[in-house]
């Protein structure tokens, strides 16, 4: 279903950046309506926004409507998200104090949509105690804020007050617009990526995991409204926006310690990381030199994180594991399922095209302790993530 974002543009020099925000939102598939204050029109023409949004731009509370409706109420009703970008100290102050004297302030007062404020102003204005009190007041009333960043401002000052980059703003708005409350109040801890076991200062042992599956699970959990902690080994991926906590680790031991720390109040633990089973017994402080004879490196077992957490698991916690195999896939998955006290395990055959490391797709089976198996054909990893989360959340709800 197409979602509607109403963009309010107030009168600051950063108004020109709002053009880029509208353009990017349109490309993401949103329907856009734009409201401009009188001062905003001194910086950017309404025609610019009309061209970018393919919609008539509202500029005057008292202009003759094109069809018979109360325009600010109509816009308030159709909005899924109402964002003011840029938001000046003036418009933040008016909204915080219930003043509705133009189309932006009257419409935002009337809407039940998610409300987002993107401040942009001189750094001294931004840090003014009155402005900060107004911002805190709006946050208490459920307004989202995309905070300004530090940088060189139009007035020549340097400091916090510069409007966030339009790409970041659009990413945040996409998350806010699409986020549901399906898993609100549920803490989901996800492990992802590959661990790295150091041999010497130059060399290490690792595996082919790219972290795509784990990151997809974390991203979809955020969209479902969960509180999400992502514990990640080595990847080249950007952490999803909206994480409660992002913890980077290197070794299997570090991942074990972080998972254990988060596990006590976790509702759902999803172990999607590819954790090394072995690590060198001894770390060589200096680079191991090439020799004529073969090199032997003694290895020791790492902690089996899923097994350890399975021993600690309470009746009101759900644990999901992964079994990436190249042979006897179901048999190995069943063994892991039982040994690690999992609620279900996601198995995949790494030899199949479109499944496994480095792809955006996967082919999986869900195996349950009662012997039930759910088989899924080729799907995007985000779709697989959705199925995992839906199943895990259902199990959790049935235990409450």
Is 336 known to sit in a ligand binding site?
Answer: yes
Q: Is 60 annotated as a binding residue?
A: no
Question: Is residue 327 reached through a cis peptide bond, with omega within 30 degrees of 0 on the bond before it?
Answer: no
Rounded Cα distance between 350 and 354, Å, is 9
- CA distance linking residue 195 with residue 210, whole number of Å: 11
Phi, psi of 152 (to 5 degrees): -80, 125
Interatomic CA distance for residues 334 and 328, integer angstroms? 10
Instruction: Compute how many other C-beta atoms are within 10 angstroms of the C-beta atom of residue 208.
Output: 11
Q: Check: CB of residue 113 under 8 Å from CB of residue 76.
A: yes
**Long-range contacts, 62-71 (Cβ 8 Å, 24+):** 71/103
Say which of 19, 155, 174, 186 is annotated catalytic. 155
Three-state secondary structure call for residue 75: helix
Report residue 212 as tokens.
């795509």
Task: Give yes or no: 155 in active site.
Answer: yes
Torsion of CA 288, 293, 294, 300, to 10 degrees: -60
Separation CA 12–CA 34 (nearest Å): 16
Q: Rounded distance, CA 305 to CA 311, Å?
A: 10
User: Is 287 part of any known ligand binding site?
Assistant: yes
CB-based contact 86:14 (threshold 8 Å): yes
Measured N-to-C along each axis, helices 212-223 and 166-178 cross at an angle, to the nearest 10 degrees, of 70
Alpha carbon distance 215, 385 (integer Å): 9
Distance CA 379, CA 389 (A): 15
| CA distances to 19, 198, 203, 251, 294 from 285, in Å | 55, 10, 11, 17, 20
Closest CA to 187 of 273, 114, 264, 252: 264
Q: Which residues are documented as binding site for CTP? A: 277, 287, 322, 336, 340
The catalytic site residues sit at: 155
- Please give the annotated binding residues, written as ranges: 277, 287, 322, 336, 340
């Amino acid at each position: 279903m197409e979602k509607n974002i109403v963009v309010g543009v107030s009168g600051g020099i950063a108004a020109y950046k709002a053009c880029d925000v509208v353009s990017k939102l349109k490309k993401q598939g949103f329907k856009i309506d734009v409201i401009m204050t009188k001062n905003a029109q001194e910086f950017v023409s309404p025609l610019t926004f009309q061209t970018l949004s393919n919609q008539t731009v509202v500029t005057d509370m008292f202009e003759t409507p094109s069809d018979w409706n109360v325009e600010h109420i109509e816009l308030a009703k159709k909005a899924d998200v109402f964002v003011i970008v840029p938001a000046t100290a003036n418009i933040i102050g008016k909204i915080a104090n219930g003043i509705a004297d133009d189309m932006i302030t009257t419409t935002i007062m009337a809407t039940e949509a998610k409300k987002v404020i993107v401040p942009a102003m001189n750094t001294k204005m931004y840090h003014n105690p009155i402005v900060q009190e107004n911002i805190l007041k709006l946050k208490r009333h459920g307004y989202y804020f995309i905070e300004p960043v530090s940088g060189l401002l139009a007035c020549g000052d340097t400091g916090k007050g510069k409007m966030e980059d339009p790409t970041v703003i659009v990413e945040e708005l996409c998350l806010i617009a699409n986020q549901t409350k399906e898993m609100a109040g549920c803490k989901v801890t996800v492990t992802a990526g590959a661990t790295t076991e150091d041999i010497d200062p130059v060399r290490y042992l690792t595996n082919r995991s790219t972290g795509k599956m784990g990151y997809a699970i974390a991203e979809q959990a955020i969209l479902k409204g969960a509180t999400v902690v992502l514990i990640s080994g080595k990847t080249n991926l950007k952490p999803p926006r909206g994480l409660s906590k992002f913890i980077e680790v290197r070794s299997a031991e570090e991942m074990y310690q972080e998972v254990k720390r988060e596990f006590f109040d976790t509702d759902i633990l999803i172990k999607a990381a590819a954790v090394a089973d072995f690590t060198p017994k001894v770390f060589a402080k200096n680079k191991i030199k090439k020799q004529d004879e073969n090199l032997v490196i003694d290895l020791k077992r790492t902690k089996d994180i899923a097994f350890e957490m399975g021993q600690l698991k309470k009746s009101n916690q759900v644990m999901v594991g992964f079994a990436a195999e190249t042979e006897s896939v179901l048999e190995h998955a069943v063994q892991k399922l039982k040994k690690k006290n999992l609620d279900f395990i996601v198995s995949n055959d790494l030899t199949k095209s479109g499944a496994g490391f480095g792809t955006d797709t996967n082919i999986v089976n869900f195996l349950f302790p009662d012997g039930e198996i759910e088989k899924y054909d080729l799907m995007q990893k985000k779709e697989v993530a959705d199925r995992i989360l839906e199943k895990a959340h259902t199990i959790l709800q049935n235990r409450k």
